[in-house]
Chains A and B, each alone.
Chain A
């Protein structure tokens, strides 16, 4: 499945180069720094940003908001997902909430939230409403797809509820939890930054973006966008690394226990 050869890697590099080339060409044809600055100008704007004093503070504020909302989504979405998967009543009760969450445009959530909450809370609230259904639906589906045959096996072989949870339910749900967490995490970044753009809290990537846009500093807007993209990519990478960690540990443990046997 995960076959990345030198060929596929060089195709990816080529694709990046083509995109940069198109950008450069577009900037050359438009010939206007306000409409579309060149990649070079954007790059130096990025370097300036990186050296500015509140840079880390802005990034940190956004990262904390995103992580906070992600953790809340993960826990609440997971818990309600499990409950709805097991109980038709809970499912029926949560349907309206889900439909509303899924159908409401991000911008109206943010605008309404800004009427109700302070600018720092809006990104959290909006990200939760947008990310919650994603996590919830995945986990609920996972519970519904739990194998009744394996469940019966655990009953017949006298598994305690805790042992059933650890060795049957959680491993069965893991793929759904991972898919849900991954999808809601990438959504969280976008919503948090969008909310920051509209509400302009004191620190935040979105706030800086908004200020740069007001000053027609297009290069700076692009530079902040690149930072947002990087944040999402780093988030994804960390997430994957975190997933592989227990697998490696488990493998090491199994190898060790087999060695003890011999």
Chain B
């Protein structure tokens, strides 16, 4: 995906609030790119522009052939429909893509199994814990045939232990089906463990301040690694 010189400003009252100006970024297909930056710097706006929920004032976003089409989202909150069961929440988003109901249920169950929730398929979201609900959202995002995955701080609201287990669940599914993933976070350690490319952003108007490529295989990464410690330190200075 090639993001070229996009600009976006919001009108607040009588003032123009520039969020992005001439922002460019190239994202390799089939990789995870983490965008790390202060809150309110415009990361979410960039995701919304990639997701075509909003249009840039100028500039273009070119997607490669594999990336054109539906997109999967993971939000900060699970955003499940509370009146539907876990299974129905996943199955529902598949309806436009799989005509056969059996196939939809089979696919939904497969992804629920991968996040360890097949026994909870009949439960309603409010019968699950926060972490389990977010797992359902992960299953939904992967079951949905989105060509690009957009993640907007999906693990932030959880405690440390739960967070790592969700990151792990996410990576397990991702390794099985490597879709271009753009991942917004303000947590550098999470980004270092998950991403192929970590991009540090400045506050408004958002610009790239540094870009790191991480070549260590994901399962060999450790936050105690001297290289990672240096990287983490450099982010906070």
Q: Verify if A92 is at the interface (C-beta below 8 Å from B).
A: no
Main secondary structure, interface of B, reads: loop
Given contacts A150-B79, A153-B73, 20 further A-B contacts (CB under 8 A): A149-B77, A149-B79, A153-B75, A156-B53, A157-B73, A157-B93, A157-B140, A158-B70, A158-B96, A160-B96, A163-B92, A163-B95, A167-B92, A168-B81, A171-B81, A171-B83, A254-B85, A254-B122, A258-B122, A261-B105
Report the interface size for chain B: residues with CB under 8 A from the other chain: 22
A155 near B: Cβ within 8 Å? yes
Write out the residue numbers on chain B whose beta carbons fall within 8 Å of the beta carbon of A261.
105, 109
Please, what's the 1-or-0 string for B98-131, where 1 marks a CB less than 8 Å from any CB in chain A?
0000000100010000000000011000000000
Query: B75 to chain A: which residues have CB within 8 Å?
Result: 149, 153
* Interface residue tally for chain A (C-beta within 8 Å): 18
CA distance A257 to B81 in the complex (A): 19
Question: In the complex, what distance in Å separates the CA atom of A51 from the CA atom of B96?
Answer: 61
- Which chain B residues border A163 with CB–CB below 8 Å? 92, 95
CB neighbours (8 Å) of B122 from chain A are 254, 258
Given the complex, which residues of B lie within 8 Å of A167, measured CB to CB? 81, 84, 92
Which residues on B sit within 8 Å (CB–CB) of A156?
A: 51, 53, 71, 73
User: Does any Cβ of A come within 8 Å of B144's Cβ?
Assistant: yes
Chain B residues positioned under 8 Å from A152 (CB to CB): 53, 79
Give me the 4 closest cross-chain CB pairs, A-B, nearest first.
A153-B79, A157-B93, A171-B83, A156-B73
A254 to B84, CA, bound (A): 10
Q: How far is the CA of A176 from the CA of B1 in the complex (A)?
A: 45
CA distance A150 to B122 in the complex (A): 21
Question: Can you give 12 A-B contacts (C-beta < 8 A)?
Answer: A149-B77, A153-B73, A153-B75, A156-B53, A157-B73, A157-B140, A158-B93, A159-B93, A160-B96, A167-B81, A168-B81, A257-B105
0/1 interface trace, chain B 183-205, chain A, CB 8 Å (1 if under): 00000000000000000000000
- By a CB distance below 8 angstroms, the chain A residues around B95 are 163
Nearest-neighbour CB distance to chain B for A260, whole angstroms, equals: 8
Find the B residue at minimum CB distance from A166.
B92
The distance in angstroms between the C-alpha atoms of A41 and B81, with both chains bound, is 56
CA distance A85 to B85 in the complex (A): 28
Assembly CA distance A203 to B140 (angstroms)? 60
**Across the two chains, which residue of chain A brings its CB closest to B141?**
A157
- B29-72 CB mask vs A (1 if < 8 Å, else 0) is 00000000000000000000001010000000000000000110
Interface string of A131-163 (1 = CB under 8 A from B): 000000000000000000110110111111001
Chain B's closest residue to A250 (CB) is: B83
